Amino acid sequence: MSVPPRRATPALLQVDAVLQRLGGADALTEVCRYLRQEFSHFDWVGVYRKDGERLRLAGWNGAAETEHTVIALDRGVCGRAARENRTVVVDDVRAAPEYLACFVDTRAEIVVPVRDRSGGVLGEIDIDGTSVGAFDASDAAFLESVAAKIAPVLEGPAPRS
């Protein structure tokens, strides 16, 4: 699958509209909902906020919530993306020993860091797909643009638990 340029631009404008209308966790959840609705190969979409040495789920959309609402930075594909401050694409999660299984039908994962103005990791976008090889360079480029747009939301104060 992919995100062709003719679909990326309108989708990014829609993300802007969501962020102008909503704030905080509501904005993140709505962006996740929109992305999942708009791109059929995005089976589960989540945004994690970095909190010290952990990632905390800040918004998501999918058939079910993941059991991994808090992930240590030294675990999983999400932890690796945050530690290495780079987009990580896993074509087949069955071949990735660090993958933290969430859903039985997940076959691919892409994790994109959300960075602050100085390039540090604020959090990340985590997307699962049900097909091996579900994500390509166009998905990475598109999601990196989405990450830049949601960065101000993650820079704001974390909600109190």
Measured N-to-C along each axis, helices 5-21 and 137-155 cross at an angle, to the nearest 10 degrees, of 10
DSSP 8-state symbol, 153: H
Q: Average the pLDDT over 29-54 and give the result.
A: 96
Least confident piece of the model among 94-98, 110-114, 121-125, 147-151: 94-98
Residue 38: give its domain's CATH number: 3.30.450.40
pLDDT band for 53, please (50, 70, 90 cuts). very high
pLDDT for position 39:
96
- Joined together, the tokens standing for residue 28 give 């993140």
| pTM to 2 decimal places | 0.93
pLDDT band at 102 (very low <50, low <70, confident <90, very high): confident
User: What tokens does 73 get?
Assistant: 């930075």
pLDDT recorded at residue 67: 85
Residue 26 CA to residue 106 CA, distance in Å, equals 25
> Who's near 43: CB < 8 A, 6+ residues apart?
36, 62, 63, 103, 105, 106, 127, 128, 129, 130
Token pair 């960065």 in the structure block, residue? 151
Average pLDDT over residues 106-121: 94
Does the residue 69 lie in any domain?
A: yes
- Has residue 103 got a pLDDT over 80? no
What is the tally of structural domains in the chain?
Answer: 1
Strands ordered across the beta sheet of 54-61: 70-72, 54-61, 44-51, 121-129, 108-115, 88-90
pLDDT at 100 over 70: no
The answer to whether residue 161 is domain-embedded is no
Question: Domain range spanning residue 45?
Answer: 5-155
